[in-house]
Amino acid sequence: MRVYNFSPGPSALPLAVLEKAAAEMTDVNGTGQSAMEVSHRSKDFKPIIDKAETLLRELMGIPSGYKVLFLQGGASLQFAMIPLNLAAVEQGAAKKRAAYVETGIWAKKAAEEAAKFADAVTLAGSKDRAYAYIPQAPAPDPSDAYYHITLNNTIVGTRWPRLPETGKVPLAADISSCILSEPLDVSKFGVLYAGAQKNLGPAGTTVVIIREDLIGRAPSWTPALLRYDIHAGEGSMYNTPPCYGIYIISLVLEWLKAQGGVNAMTEKNREKAELFYSYLESSGNFRSPVEKPYRSLMNIPFVTTETDPERRSALETRFLREAAASGLVNLAGHRLVGGMRASIYNAMPIDGVKALIRFMETFEGTIRK
């Protein structure tokens, strides 16, 4: 029996995608081979990666002048690759400055990693209120190498309601948990990156979208596998790419196009999020810890209103156990913040959100007794 999987990542994939992948498991595109067996250097793999890039460009409206790269290492490797390629210098030269805004744990980790290769400066942050809001973003120094934000914060459930103004300083953004969930003007960014395992495909593939004029800036000492120019020059095939992951991404993009594209998906995502937030607002036993203007459409943390720590812990443990028994799985909050969290990515149908609300209403009834 299929359950409703609210995992923040690896997350649920559309059932239609899984069924198509299963049907093609031993024969993709009439090759007589599984997509896991096709050589990345062969004529049989080229249609797979070309389809993935073409659909991504179409669905995101990626302009000419941007490269699309399919890499490995997750979004966390991009915490290092971005400063290495955009801000690092030859040995002995003064470090370039890079601007960061700390809106959550992943944003903090990105800045910490960048500090190894650049003069990483945190311009603003929201740790003072447990990352429950997006701070006012100061303008960068015009000489900054880039300006980095985490567009949607998976753990704490916040999103940027509007982009910061960065002038000529390239804007870099982690969009792992919000890619393709709503329209995004790619032309406003220098670099976008996303680990696929949240809203795009299986774990193991990372998509990087980078403006071409930012490619080729890495210092000579940068390892080959960490250079954007090498990956771009080899069409994401400098080494063996995550072939099966790219294949699944192509199926997810095909599914998304069939749903009506990003605009149609945005309407569904807003409906799901509004439904769940409305329930939390009316609940006497659960609430959202995130300030309203900054609430994510994709990741919705929630906590009980119980104030006693021991009773709250016992209540959350019971909630998660009974939810799982009801087919509502992976609702635990991140280990660093606790509570609960419902990740309602593109693949989560509205029926899953309604089922969660029904369960929570029933659960509340048992609390009141």
- Kindly report, residue by residue over 174-203, the tens digit of the pLDDT: 999 999 999 999 999 999 999 999 999 999
Q: pLDDT above 70 covers what percent of the chain? A: 99
Q: Identify whether residues 32 and 42 lie together within a single domain.
A: yes
**Does some domain include residue 278?**
yes
Beta bridge partners of 84: none
d(CA 147, CA 123) in angstroms, rounded, equals 10
State the amino acid at position 299 in one-letter form. Answer: N
Q: Identify whether residues 61 and 123 lie together within a single domain.
A: yes
Q: Identify whether residues 248 and 299 lie together within a single domain.
A: no
**Does some domain include residue 13?**
no
**Which range (35-39, 92-96, 147-151) has the least confidence?**
92-96
Q: Identify whether residues 275 and 225 lie together within a single domain.
A: no
Q: Identify whether residues 204 and 277 lie together within a single domain.
A: no
What is residue 369's predicted lDDT score, i.e. its pLDDT?
A: 54
Q: Identify whether residues 230 and 128 lie together within a single domain.
A: yes
Is the pLDDT score of 17 beyond 60? yes
What is residue 179's predicted lDDT score, i.e. its pLDDT?
A: 97
What residue numbers bound the domain in which 216 lies? 20-258
Give the model confidence (pLDDT) of 278-328 as tens digits. Answer: 999 999 899 999 999 999 999 999 999 988 889 999 999 999 999 999 999
Q: Identify whether residues 197 and 147 lie together within a single domain.
A: yes
175: DSSP letter: -
Is the pLDDT score of 347 beyond 60? yes
Q: Identify whether residues 45 and 129 lie together within a single domain.
A: yes
Q: Identify whether residues 138 and 150 lie together within a single domain.
A: yes
Which residues belong to the active site? 106, 174, 198
**Does some domain include residue 351?**
yes
What is residue 141's predicted lDDT score, i.e. its pLDDT?
A: 95
Domain end among 223, 258, 293: 258
Count up the domains in the chain and report the number: 2
pTM for this model (two decimals): 0.96
Domain CATH number, residue 339: 3.90.1150.10
Decide: 104 and 133 in contact? Cβ < 8 Å: no
Q: Identify whether residues 174 and 143 lie together within a single domain.
A: yes
d(CA 39, CA 240) in angstroms, rounded, equals 9
Catalogue the long-range contacts made by 10-13 (C-beta closer than 8 Å, 24 or more residues apart): 10/197, 10/198, 10/202, 10/203, 11/197, 11/198, 11/199, 11/343, 11/345, 11/347, 12/345, 12/347, 12/348, 13/201, 13/202, 13/248, 13/252, 13/347
d(CA 192, CA 238) in angstroms, rounded, equals 20
**Does some domain include residue 14?**
no
What is residue 354's predicted lDDT score, i.e. its pLDDT?
A: 98
Q: Identify whether residues 35 and 172 lie together within a single domain.
A: yes
Is the pLDDT score of 143 beyond 70? yes
Nearby residues of 271 by Cβ (< 8 Å), 6 or more positions away: 350
Compute how many other C-beta atoms are within 10 angstroms of the C-beta atom of residue 245: 23
d(CA 227, CA 81) in angstroms, rounded, equals 7
